[in-house]
Amino acid sequence: MITGAIFDMDGVLLDSMPVWERAGIWYLEQNGKTPEPELIDVLFTKTMMEAAEYIREKYTISKTGEEIFHEILGIIHNYYETEIPAKEGALAFLRRLKEKGIPITVATSSDCSLAQAGLKRLGFLPYVDAVFSCCETGIGKEHPDVYLRALESMGTELRTTWVFEDSLHAVRTARKAGFPVVGIYDAGSDKNQGLIQKEATVYLGNLTDFDRFYSYASRKEDMDED
């Protein structure tokens, strides 16, 4: 059964992970610093503010974390307004959910201004009831706070509210909190696909197969009772 849906944005609705993977590198290079080889992995689970503070401390940049945050935000914002495409099937998937009366929220690690820019340009906002950011909760997706805020806003039951995620740490967090989780493939998490497939409630290569998901979700409550 599905009574609500919470979507991650980057890597699930928007094909934006390549920009995120490079943003910290671009920023450091612009400031004459040499990024560590594992920087992408280090920043992957952090909120934007946490990433800015890490860069400030690690690379001894003489600016505040907030200044670095806004400078990186400026680099990324242009891509959301002009270039980043939607993931395959994502818009039609949300449209089908909305036609069935399912409330939809977005729970993202990105800043709300980025979310609004990208979701508006690509036509998602008419189908989204609210957007929640880890930047507002002050804590990343190693903790379920952003999902719980989204859940509260919809007023749906946790066990029938599905979370759509592409990253392993977020899948684990949502499952641990009690949500059923759809694992979505994104190249940015390619090395973890085996674990995502294993730990998600159901796994989809992309969002083109609405009927298969909806059929599974509709039958899940009966399967759980067997």
Same domain, 154 and 51: no
For residue 89, pLDDT over 70 is answered with yes
Of the candidates 32, 48, 82, which is a domain's last residue? 82
Per-residue pLDDT, 108: 95
What total of structural domains would you count in the chain?
A: 2
User: Is 11 in the same domain as 23?
Assistant: no
CA–CA distance, 185 with 157 (Å, rounded to integer):
26
pLDDT in tens, 156-173: 999 999 999 999 999 999
141 and 179 belong to one structural domain: yes
Q: What is the CATH number of the domain that holds 100?
A: 3.40.50.1000
Q: Which two tokens stand for residue 214?
A: 């909806």
Q: Give tens-digit pLDDT for 179-192.
A: 999 999 998 888 89
Residue 226, pLDDT score: 43
Question: Are 127 and 195 members of one domain?
Answer: yes
The token duo for 20 is: 């995120």
Same domain, 118 and 217: yes
105-150 confidence digits (pLDDT tens): 999 988 888 999 999 999 999 999 999 999 888 888 999 999 999 9
pLDDT at 147: 98
Contact 70, 77 (CB under 8 A): no
Residues 147 and 212 in one domain: yes
Whole-Å CA distances, 118 to 40, 77, 164: 22, 9, 18
In this prediction, residues 73-89 reach a mean pLDDT of 92
Q: Are residues 72 and 23 in the same domain?
A: yes
CA–CA dist 145, 138 (Å, integer) = 9
Q: Are 56 and 65 in contact (CB under 8 A)?
A: yes
On whether the CB atoms of residues 168 and 142 are closer than 8 A, the answer is no
**3-state DSSP call for residue 220?**
helix
Domain limit, last residue, from 50, 67, 82: 82
Let me know whether 160 and 73 are in one domain: no
> Which residues lie below 8 Å from residue 111, measured CB to CB, with a gap of 6+?
48, 73, 133, 135
Question: Confidence class of residue 222 from pLDDT cuts 50, 70 and 90?
Answer: low
Model confidence at 221, pLDDT cuts 50, 70, 90, reads low
**Structural domain span for residue 163:** 4-16+85-225
* pLDDT, position 137: 86
Same domain, 64 and 151: no
Q: Verify that 29 and 97 share a domain, yes or no.
A: no
pLDDT attached to residue 140: 87
